Chains A and B, each alone.
Chain A
Amino acid sequence: MTTINRRQFVKFGLNASAGLVLFPTLSNPLFASVTQGASKGGDEDPHFFLMITLQDPTGLDNSYMFDSRPLEMTQKGIIQNYRGTDPNVWTGSNGVSTLATDMIKPLIPFRQYFSVLNGVVMDTGFDGHDQNYNYLFTGDPTGGECFIPHLNVGSVTALDAIQKGPFRVAQTNGQGSVPLSPSAAHTLISKLGSIPALNPSTSLFNHLMGRFAANSPSGTGGTGAFSLASGQMGSAFQASSSLSQMLTKIQTDGVDSNAGFIQMISQFFKTGAAKAAILTLEMPQGVVFDTHDHTNAALQPTNFTTLTSSIAEVFAALRDTPYDDKRSLFDVTTVMFSTEFGRTLRQDGIPIDQSGTNHNPLSNSILIGGKGIKGGQVVGSSDYASATETLSGAHLAFDASKQKAMGRPFDFDLGVSRTDIPTEYKATDYLGVNSIVNTIYSAFGVSSTKYRLVERNGVTASVIKTLLS
């Protein structure tokens, strides 16, 4: 299914070494299959997108994953830590290191599949869940154009995206993603067998289309809200005919597992019914990441193991689901995992061993990999990495009480964090989520007219070229 060239072999060898040092009991990633290197060009260049997220409200304490802190900082009352152990050094294929906890062990077999982005600045103006959830997907805390429909480049798909689990971004573009769990899809497909087939060549189909057209702006319906929707409905009805034919080719076992969803979206991708999917991971009852209290905060080591196991399950399904006889689904899909923001190091005025965490949009962590993305890297970093670090004026302007980590300034040419300590915050100096979206846009060949700005009325957010394969 995969091939490894010499350059990749060297790279993997380096990473394998790092992996062996850090996690000697875990399998050597050198022997894991590799997803990079899918051929490009022509109609044999499929490119899909999978967004993995958690249901808002979340916001992950990334100190339990790939942006951890030494235990010494807990002992000095700076950051809560219910692991009780020091993290390990995780070195990316680009030579950049970060601290990672044991909670990420389930992801180690996939370390070449994804890059870790740390210190990602979300919306500095709001720290609410919904605002940052909207900001992640639309670039605007109040909602707007979601980036996912823009990935439908050069093709018209029946659906913007298929989703499993809730996805409630305030989206103004596209048709919206369609929540279609494997069981719901199974029902839909089975029901298709019990109805008249949608046949655009019949006169009744054309009569129905005629009524939509007559009441649309292109008919005599004017340009009001009803007419616009009637026009939309005509287009949708036309598309539903194609979709129904596509669906008859899709088989789903109706099992609502994450792996079942991955297998299902593979078929949707193949038929052209959709190019993107959104998977909102469902966590077991009681697994909470929005930890404003000690009780839930203390459960984070267990909760994060559950989470990373769930992500690993998805990665495995992507790797093990063939797209065709040469490529896995991972080979043809760009994959991103993110929630709306990170979390504070601690809560103000509470003993460190009793502290939960609050929201922190100044530093988020994102995993990204698959087609078009160089896996295995560590990109970006957050400050307040040691008890003695001098925080920048830019940081203190947002966080005078030093409860948060903040992304460090970022060199977009070199793809690494800068070492300077700015006195004032300039959004262009930081690795913002808008740059990550633009990097995805670049990988998909989205028109630069769609690129996000660094901030409202600002310049276009820079693409992270070193992240592109």
Chain B
Amino acid sequence: MKKRLGYLLLTMAGFTAAFAAQPARTFADDPATTLRGYTEVDRIIHERIARTNGFELGQYLGDDSTQPSEGKLLALLGTYVGSDTNGGYRNGDPNSVNTLLWYIALSQFAQDIADTCNKPEPVPTPSVVPMPSSTPSSIASASPSGTPELQATAEASPSPSPSPSESPPAQLAVRPTFHAALMPLCKWPADSAKSDTALYNYYTALLSFDAPPEEFAAWKDYFLNNAQYANAPASTALPAMTLAALFNPYFLLRN
């Protein structure tokens, strides 16, 4: 209770705007809250992480639409459908399909964030960064050395080639503020990357104050002490750290 109250105060202080737009749900209407849905998560990611350059989270699911439409995978991540009496928020209850889809999207997104370590600091003004047509998408070109532990069996599954008919998606370009929080972590496993300040800055750059302190503590403890990641290079640890932060209920669920 105390945890939730503390979280509520933090939220009210800093992020009321983000939550004000959410429709009120009562326990009587629905005993469990729902996934935030694609549109909201995509908006949050652009507020905190990604610059507005044509990049959309949905491109990791083969759809760079800004709004999910029925029949497409993005709609399965939670979306509003219809305006009649049976209209409403659909596919927002966590199920194996939308959870899998979030995992697919966020694990690729985490890899692209980690790859940013090797890119120059972004210019402060938003600009379009088109991907050369001859260059494979960063989505499909994740370095094997940069795979988190979950990728142990991924080698057997070859990455699909982009369809010739698909225009290349815009490459992820991060916001300067996010870049500043990311850079110290790029030096992982150096001590400087493991400082409380560096870890906290990166964690809040991803989740803002959405999650209570216990979540940051658990995340930090896991990566500082896990044998797989504690001394691994950033190319291995950072995708996993990013995925672990984003694949948290406080990021994906309405609260």
Contacts and interface: CB of A to CB of B under 8 A. Distances in A.
Contacts of A224: 4
Interface stretch (A200-208, A314-322, A447-455): A200-208
A199 interface: yes
B160 A236 contact: no
B249 A243 contact: no
B95 A236 contact: yes
A95 interface: no
B73 A187 contact: yes
A229 B252 CA distance: 10
Given A196-B148, A228-B31, A233 B73 contact: no
B32 A229 contact: yes
Nearest to A163: B71
Given A232-B93, A233-B252, A196 B107 contact: yes
B76 interface: yes
B34 A229 contact: yes
Contact of B249 (A202, A211, A244): A211
B174 interface: no
B33 A195 contact: no
Interface stretch (B14-22, B121-129, B150-158): B150-158
Interface stretch (B39-47, B97-105, B184-192): B97-105
Contacts of A128: 85
A342 B1 CA distance: 53
B170 interface: no
B101 A188 contact: yes
A225 B159 contact: no
Given A204-B240, A236-B99, A243-B97, A211 B153 contact: no
Contacts of B1: 222
Given A166-B70, A187-B73, A233-B249, A178 B95 contact: yes
B143 interface: no
Given A190-B160, A233-B94, A243-B97, A202 B149 contact: yes
B120 interface: no
A230 interface: yes
A169, A197, A204, most chain B CB atoms within 10 A: A204
A143 B91 CA distance: 16
Contacts of B25: 225
Contacts of B156: 197
A228 B153 contact: no
B81 A168 contact: yes
Given A226-B253, A240-B97, A194 B73 contact: no
B160 to A, nearest CB: 5
Interface in B57-74: 60-63, 70-73
A193 interface: yes
B50 to A, nearest CB: 19
Interface string B191-231: 00000000000000000000000110010001000101000
B96 A179 contact: no
B91 A178 contact: yes
Given A175-B93, A198-B100, A203-B149, A133 B32 contact: no
A133 B84 CA distance: 13
B140 interface: yes
A225 to B, nearest CB: 4
Contacts of A133: 86
B7 to A, nearest CB: 10
Contacts of B91: 176, 178-179
A56 B154 CA distance: 42
A195 B108 contact: yes
Interface residues of A, number: 64
B183 interface: no
Nearest to B26: A225
Interface in A202-221: 202-205, 207-208, 210-212, 214-215, 220
Given A202-B149, A202-B150, A229 B94 contact: yes
Interface string A140-181: 000100000000000000110000011011100001101111
B90 interface: yes
A264 to B, nearest CB: 14
Contact of B86 (A56, A235, A242): A56
Contact of A192 (B76, B84, B157, B248): B157
B32 A196 contact: no
B149 A179 contact: no
A248 B152 contact: no
Given A168-B86, A224-B4, A196 B97 contact: no
B157 A212 contact: no
B164 interface: no
A288 interface: no
A222 B4 CA distance: 10
A363 interface: no
A337 interface: no
A195 B103 contact: yes
Contacts of A233: 35, 94, 99, 249, 252-253
B132 interface: no
Contacts of B99: 233, 236-237, 239-240
A162 to B, nearest CB: 9
B151 A184 contact: no
CB-CB nearest 3 A-B residue pairs: A196-B151, A228-B32, A239-B96
26 contacts: A130-B85, A158-B96, A176-B90, A178-B76, A178-B91, A178-B97, A184-B71, A184-B76, A188-B73, A191-B62, A195-B103, A197-B152, A204-B228, A207-B226, A211-B248, A212-B249, A220-B3, A222-B1, A226-B253, A228-B32, A232-B93, A233-B94, A233-B249, A235-B94, A239-B99, A242-B96
Given A176-B95, A178-B91, A191-B61, 19 more contacts: A128-B85, A130-B85, A168-B90, A179-B70, A188-B101, A191-B62, A194-B108, A195-B108, A196-B148, A203-B226, A208-B248, A211-B215, A211-B248, A225-B30, A225-B31, A233-B94, A233-B249, A239-B99, A243-B100
